[in-house]
């Protein structure tokens, strides 16, 4: 089968094993895991591999990704990013649950859900210090009571997100605050709290130390499963694979050249003034991929003797003088994807063919295609499952 290069190779067996490892580790602490697919553009195969590994549900930030998953039969689904009020109808039609912090948006979701004859699950996000999404801890119980009273809304519980914007580390103390809030809500309302969602992959070290406060019963994990690392210090999760993803490109030139550029120095293609040290003549390969395909800083050559020198939009320059196998023009070079930004860019670049190891087919993302043509407003009189049935079609 012909796959245009560059291609990203995704090892689903390793991915499933990583999901199982994280799920088992969390289960031992009474925590269930949502598998986060947003770094993989909501890939169906990635979602399925995570589900096979035992995650309870799939979660993604974007409605476009969730819509594709839903139309392939995956549900329930959770929207991670706070819904846009301009798209609450789509959110309700596509996602079963969303994370929220704005009362006006929750009210709009409730109205949309009621109109569509369904209930939309809401988790209220609390900002425990990271300063991305979430309400102040002091306001959480009051806002939750309000959400629980909203027609069309099923209030499920509380969540937090840490180590994303402010770099704040999850601790017994800040996660304990979330449990306290849930406890106060239960006492005030008499309603049980189904979900206390204690963060993302940065909470995994706490899980491994057995230090997650009792009461936290869910984590939303992307990077931990995909790259096999926690995200506070990026140390590996023992037993997890770090090589689920690799990027393969073709050598379009391999020549021996002086290591120093020659001539007057101005700015490079990205407005930086490059600096070089003189290492004499070196063998350099140009691989046909660049910044339009991937954030090259997150790549590591599989051949330890190769060294990435830099990249422009479409060219990756590698010093191959000490390579175990110096590549010839037309040959492939394999690069491991070792960080989240590199993974995200490769999976969302329409120039990169997505290939699942062991499968014959590959595909390129058509990012410019629109959502499935569904006007959610047409479903008002057609019963609760009409909208989702159309997304499945
Ligand atoms: C992306 C995201 C996650 C998953 O983060 P990882 O670091 O990949 O585990 C969890 N929750 C929210 C709200 C997110 O946006």
- Of all protein residues, the one whose alpha carbon is nearest to atom 3 of ligand 1 is 200
Distance 93 CA to ligand 1 centre (A): 22
308 within 8 A of 228, measured Cβ to Cβ? no
pLDDT at 377 over 50: no
Mutate to test the pocket of ligand 1, among 18, 26, 33, 36 (most ligand atoms within 8 A of CB): 36
Q: In this predicted structure, what is the pLDDT of residue 269?
A: 85
- Of all protein residues, the one whose alpha carbon is nearest to atom 8 of ligand 1 is 222
Backbone torsions φ then ψ of 55, nearest 5 degrees: -65, 150
Which ligand 1 atom is the nearest neighbour of the CA of 38?
1
Q: In this predicted structure, what is the pLDDT of residue 385?
A: 45
Distance 221 CA to ligand 1 centre (A): 6
- How does residue 367 score in pLDDT terms, banded at 50, 70 and 90? low
pLDDT at 369 over 80: no
- Of all protein residues, the one whose alpha carbon is nearest to atom 15 of ligand 1 is 80
Ligand 1 pocket, Cβ-based, cut-off 6 angstroms: 36, 38, 61, 80, 99, 161, 200-201, 220-224, 231
Q: In this predicted structure, what is the pLDDT of residue 358?
A: 83
Distance 215 CA to ligand 1 centre (A): 20
Catalytic, 38? Answer yes
Q: In this predicted structure, what is the pLDDT of residue 273?
A: 86
Measured CA distances, 356 to 15, 243, 390 (Å):
11, 13, 28
Q: In this predicted structure, what is the pLDDT of residue 368?
A: 60
Which ligand 1 atom is the nearest neighbour of the CA of 125?
13
80 within 8 A of 99, measured Cβ to Cβ? yes
pTM of the full structure: 0.92
90 within 8 A of 63, measured Cβ to Cβ? yes
Mutate to test the pocket of ligand 1, among 222, 224, 347 (most ligand atoms within 8 A of CB): 222
Q: In this predicted structure, what is the pLDDT of residue 371?
A: 53
**Average per-residue pLDDT in the chain?**
92
Helices (runs of H) and strands (runs of E) counted in the chain: 11, 17
Q: What is the mean pLDDT of residues 134-154?
A: 98
Q: In this predicted structure, what is the pLDDT of residue 359?
A: 86
Q: H or E element: which one contains 23? A: helix 12-27
Bridge partners (DSSP) of residue 286 are: 253, 317
Which ligand 1 atom is the nearest neighbour of the CA of 163?
7
Distance CA 314, CA 319 (A): 17
pLDDT at 180 over 70: yes
Which ligand 1 atom is the nearest neighbour of the CA of 226?
8
- Of all protein residues, the one whose alpha carbon is nearest to atom 13 of ligand 1 is 80
Distance 220 CA to ligand 1 centre (A): 6
Distance CA 101, CA 159 (A): 10
The closest of 187, 195, 218, 236 to 27, measured between CA atoms, is 218
pLDDT in tens, 286-301: 999 999 999 999 999 9
Distance 100 CA to ligand 1 centre (A): 14
Residues in the chain: 393
Q: What is the mean pLDDT of residues 184-204?
A: 97
- How does residue 268 score in pLDDT terms, banded at 50, 70 and 90? confident
Which ligand 1 atom is the nearest neighbour of the CA of 202?
7
- Of all protein residues, the one whose alpha carbon is nearest to atom 7 of ligand 1 is 201
178 within 8 A of 216, measured Cβ to Cβ? yes
Bridge partners (DSSP) of residue 229 are: 236
Distance 103 CA to ligand 1 centre (A): 22
Which ligand 1 atom is the nearest neighbour of the CA of 99?
13
Residue 14 has, within 13 A of its CA and on its CB side, a CA count of: 18
pLDDT at 386 over 60: no
Distance 200 CA to ligand 1 centre (A): 5
Alpha helices in 149-301 (DSSP H): 172-189, 204-208, 223-226
- Residues with Cβ within 8 Å of 154's Cβ and at least 6 positions away in sequence, in order, are 119, 120, 121, 122
- How does residue 189 score in pLDDT terms, banded at 50, 70 and 90? very high
Q: What is the mean pLDDT of residues 193-205?
A: 97
């Amino acid at each position: 089968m012909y796959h245009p290069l560059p291609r990203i190779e995704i090892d689903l067996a390793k991915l499933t094993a990583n999901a199982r490892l994280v799920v088992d580790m969390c289960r031992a602490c009474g925590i269930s895991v949502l598998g986060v697919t947003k770094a993989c553009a909501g890939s169906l195969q990635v979602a399925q591999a995570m589900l096979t590994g035992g995650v309870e549900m799939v979660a993604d930030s974007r409605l476009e990704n969730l819509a594709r998953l839903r139309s392939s039969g995956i549900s329930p689904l959770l929207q991670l990013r706070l819904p846009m009020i301009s798209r609450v109808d789509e959110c309700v039609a596509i996602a079963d649950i969303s994370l929220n912090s704005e009362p006006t948006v929750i009210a709009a979701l409730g109205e949309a859900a009621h109109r569509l004859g369904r209930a939309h699950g809401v988790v209220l996000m609390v900002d425990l210090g990271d300063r991305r999404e979430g309400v102040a801890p002091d306001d959480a119980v009051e806002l939750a009571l309000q959400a629980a009273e909203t027609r069309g809304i099923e209030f499920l519980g509380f969540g937090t997100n840490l180590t994303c914007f402010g770099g704040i580390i999850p601790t017994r103390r800040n996660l304990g605050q979330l449990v306290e809030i849930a406890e106060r809500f239960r006492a005030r309302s008499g309603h049980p709290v189904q979900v206390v969602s204690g963060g993302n992959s940065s909470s995994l070290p706490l899980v491994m130390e057995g230090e997650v406060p009792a009461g936290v019963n869910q984590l939303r994990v992307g990077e931990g499963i995909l790259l096999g690392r926690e995200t506070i210090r990026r140390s590996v999760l023992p037993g997890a694979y770090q090589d689920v993803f690799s990027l393969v490109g073709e050598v379009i030139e391999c020549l021996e050249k002086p290591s120093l550029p020659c001539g007057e120095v101005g700015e490079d293609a990205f407005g930086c003034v490059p600096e070089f040290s003189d290492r004499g003549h070196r063998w350099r390969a140009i691989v046909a991929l660049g910044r339009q395909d991937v954030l090259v800083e997150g790549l590591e050559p599989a051949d330890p003797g190769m060294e990435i020198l830099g990249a422009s939009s479409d060219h990756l320059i590698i010093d191959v003088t000490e390579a175990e196998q110096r590549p010839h023009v037309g040959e492939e070079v394999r690069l491991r994807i070792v960080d989240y930004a590199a993974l995200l860019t490769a999976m969302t670049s329409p120039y990169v063919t997505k290939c699942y190891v062991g499968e014959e087919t590959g595909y390129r993302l058509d990012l410019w295609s629109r959502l499935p043509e569904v006007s959610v407003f047409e479903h008002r009189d057609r019963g609760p499952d009409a909208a989702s049935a159309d997304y499945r079609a």
